Structures are given as structure tokens and as C-alpha cells.
Chains A and B, each alone.
Chain A
Amino acid sequence: MNVRPVAVVGGATVRFGVRAATWSELAQEVGVALFRAVPELRSEDVDSLFVGAAEPERFAFQSHVAPLAAEQMGLRPTRILQRTELACASGQSAIRSAYAAIASGLSDIAVAVGVEKMNLPSMAEANSAMGCVMDRAWDGPHGATAPPFFAMVAQRHMVEHGTTEEQMAAVSEKNHRFANSNPHAQFYEKTFSRDKLLRLPLIAPPLRLGDCSSMSDGAGAVVLAGEETVRRYTDTPAWIRGTGQYSDFHNLANAGSLTDWVGLKRASREALHRAHIGITDLDMAEVHDCFSISEIVEYEALGLCAEGQGGAFAADGRGDLGGDLVVNPRGGLLGCGHPLGATGVAQAVEVFQQFAHAVPPIRQVPSPEWALVHNLSGSANVHSVMVYQRGGAA
């Protein structure tokens, strides 16, 4: 099937973290940042807006956020205006929807924005919101939120494959090191050695504080354009070459193996197949390290190493600059924080900036041409993957 080629032609994020700003103010701030980052973009160019937001009803007591975001950002969409919700992958869903709209010809220039406000005066309320991502009626009342679920993934990986706390700390150290030089990261200019990470308190054993991504406030936005207008905005477009998604359960009882993420294998295979490349062709990957153990399981499911070898892959620096594949040079969710709706968009902004050689040298991937972006959502029961190619002809 021939579809119109679509590219991300620019983007921006706000500073992630515990922000003294409301949901609407974050949307307004990212609108300003986007128009500054893409100087040729005029408000009237944008015919469609997709708003990734996971739980504004719980975190900000606000529904119908798509027109709210449009008003805050100074946009008046004439073709498609909608919110996309897929929990932790809501941002990537916004991009995928914009891509589909432009590829089909229903839109020509679209903005995908992700916004989440998570830090509340009552963090117990925020934690309840996280519990609603799971099967709220059956798993939630037992106290199921993300940390205890991913802790069980870590426990099983340790039992089945001998993975260690030190190997999980290696993931966290790498991603915090990249975040240290990312001014938009929650942990910008913060230093975490492996020893320090291993001394942090347990949150859900065996996971410690440094193994968990933070509740974060943030927003990110990208502009997508069809091939006819791409060059109006940039010389280094990030072409979307493939996408894949897979979901096979929701209730935790139906998870099957906790350590073999079949959904990621299928989604990444689909996305790479559509891009006509293999995993070894990639130059960088932004993967969903909501917890350190997640990145270890993802190395294996993506086929970067053999099953059970993800811990060693991390400890040997094979996902670091100079390794087999640079993973999470943005700083990951561990280093940047994880504002649910904003994360997937911020990952795409990172890919665009890496392609444009616009990040600090300490985390610049050498001449990247191919990038993969992955988000999981919920209890790793949905996997969403996109593959990007730098510049070149459509």
C-alpha cells in the first residue's frame, strides 16, 4: 500500500519535574516552546491537533482537553481535533494518529502534543490515579500500581536468569548520566553513581527509588507534515518509516510470562518490517524505561541480546554510547521523569534533535540515521513502536 510519506519536522518540550504549573499552563508553555523551536510554523498552517493525555480527569479534574490544549497553544484546527489516551503511551498515540491522518490525506500539517500534570498536594490521590491504569475493579483494590507489578517482573527475571540489583543499577546510572546534561530532564545536573543508587530506599522490593521513574509534570509537542511541505520547516526531517502495536491482555491474571514480552517482540518486528530494516540497522533507540528492569527486558525482546542476557548487556555498557546501540540518550524516563502523556512526544523530540545534531556533545549519537521509539503502557500489556529515518529523499 502506498501512503503519503510523513515526517516530524520540529518539536520542543518544557522542563519536566515537580513544576509549579497547572495542566493548562504546561500546555501554554509547550505551545510557546514549539513556535520558538519551529520559526517557520504559523498557527494557521496547523489543520489538526492530537492531544496525548493519560489522566487529566484524575490529575487535573479536567475532561475535554483537546479544545483546551488548542486554546492554550493558540491553535484553531479545522480538520481533526482529538485526545488520544493510552496511559503511558498516550503521547506516542498522538503522534501515530497524526501520522495516520497525514498519510491518508485527511490532514496536511498536524501538531501532536502530550501534557500531564501528576504532582498533587496529595500523592496518595496521584497513586490512586496510577492504580486506575490497571484493571481498576479487580487488580486495583489489592493495591496494584506500577511499582509492585514491575517488582514482580524483576523478581522473576532474577529467579529465571540470575539478573542482579547491580545490573539494574547499571541501567539507571546510564540514563541518569544522560539526563545530567539534558536541561529539560527532571534530574538535570544530578549525579547518581551505581553505589548511590544501590543505597536508595526500597519502594517495591527488589526495586529501589532509583529503579523507578518519577511522577513528573511536563509537556512536549511535535509538528508533523506530509512530504510536499516538509522542507518548508527543516533540512533534517525525521521520516516515520514504520509503526507497530500489540496488546494481548489487561487483567494481571492473563499476563502469562512476566519476563518474555511477546507484545514488544511482535510490535517491534512489525515496525522494523514496515521500515524494511533490521534491528542491527538502528543507530539509537528511545525505549520505555519506566523501571530499570523494563529496559533490561526490552533489550531481550528487541533482539539486542539473547533471552536472559539483558542484565549483562546493561552491565557491559552495550546500550551506552560506544556500545552496540545507544539506548535512551535523552536520559530515559528514569532520568527525565515520566509525565505519562508527554513522554512519547519527548522521545520523538529527542530523535528529531539527535538527527539535527542539536543535543550536547556528551549525549550526541554519532551520525544517527535510524531510530526506534518504544512505549509500553499499563502492566506492559500494550507495546507501541515507531521507526524513524533521518533526512534524505522521501
Chain B
Amino acid sequence: MSTPPRPRRTTATVVPAPSAPEPAPPAEMAVRARSFEKRPFLLDFFPLETQKDTRLARFYDRLREGRLSTTRCPRDGLLHWPPRTACPKCHLEELEWVDLPESGRLYAFSAVLAAAPLGMEDDVPFAVGLVDLDGAPLRLFGRVEGRPWNALHIGQKVRTESYDVGDGRVFYRFRVDG
């Protein structure tokens, strides 16, 4: 026995009347929507910074205290970036946390003047760079704040800082003082 054809759905009711705009969302929801739009979409879609979601929660806990840190292997002394749950050299899982130097110098930099990813369009132009940390064998990549890109130079002194992403998350970046 064949099924009778479904009745066609009328489209008349889905055409919005031009005189009746959608009601504005409650103020609180509008604020949340705006902060969502502005969020760098290359972060996880939702915060994953606590012990419930990541084995690297201590990285974010320490960053919240203003300390940029990473893991080091106590067996072979290897300093990792990004922080890890196991040493890539000897596969030891009992790693130690160490604070990274708070200053460094620009090894290379550029700026995004066009073609920014979603959530970063309003930041354009913004500078990014690779920074050699003072006294640590690490060259970290990150956003460079505090000075326009065309006033930066290789060797420029920068410091690390943590910042509030705006939805309970924390992340890090570099800043040029003065």
C-alpha cells in the first residue's frame, strides 16, 4: 500500500510583514550575542580551560594569575611549547610546570591588514610576531599590542601578558610598553 502524497505546506504564513519587525531581544541576550560575534573564532567553540575538559587546566589557572607557563620534562630537561601531557622525546607523563620569562624580543613580525578570520575583522590592522623569550630557548608566536605595526622593529623589547577573552576564558599576548 502506497503512502498518500504529503499535502504541500503553504508558504503564506512564513513571509514576514514588512511593517512588523522582529521584536528586539532582551538586552542581556544582545550583549551576549555581540561578545560571541567578536570572539576570535579560532578559539574552541566553547571554553575548554578547566579540569573538567583539559589535562592542561593548570596552564590556564596560572595564566589567570598572570603567569605564562609551560611544561618541562624533569628527565631530559626539554622545555615544551605548547605545554604537553607527555614528553615527545622520552614519553614521560609526569611533567613539571615552569613559569616562562616575562620579556622577550621580536624575531619577526607582520600585520593583518586584510583577510582577517571571523571575529577578528574589527581588530584590523593588528600586528603578530615571533618573540624570542629572554633566557629561555623558546620562540613564541602571538598578537603584538601597544604599538602600530609600522612602528615595530626586529629586536623590539616586548613583555608577555594575559588577557580576559570575555567569556570566562583567558589567553596570552605580547605588549610593547611606552
Contacts and interface: CB of A to CB of B under 8 A. Distances in A.
Nearest to A151: B110
B117 A143 contact: yes
B82 A138 contact: yes
Interface residues of A, number: 40
A201 B125 CA distance: 13
B41 A128 contact: yes
B112 A156 contact: no
A281 B141 CA distance: 40
Q: Give the size range of B's interface with the partner.
A: 35 or more
B154 interface: yes
A373 interface: no
Interface in B7-45: 40-44
Contacts of A201: 113-114
Contacts of A252: 130, 141
Contact of B118 (A125, A156, A203, A253): A125
A148 interface: yes
A302 interface: no
B117 A155 contact: no
A252 B107 CA distance: 12
Interface string B79-121: 0011000000000000000000000000111111111111111
Interface string A198-213: 0001111111000000
B176 interface: no
Contact of B154 (A132, A145, A159, A205): A159
Nearest to A137: B44
Contacts of A130: 117
* Most chain A CB inside 10 Å of its own CB: which residue of B41, B149, B154: B41
B113 A136 contact: no
A142 B145 CA distance: 11
B143 interface: yes
A248 to B, nearest CB: 12
Interface of B: 40-44, 81-82, 107-121, 123, 126, 128-130, 138-143, 149-150, 154, 171, 173
Given A127-B115, A155-B110, A253-B138, 11 more contacts: A125-B118, A128-B119, A137-B44, A137-B82, A139-B141, A145-B112, A145-B115, A148-B110, A151-B110, A202-B113, A252-B141
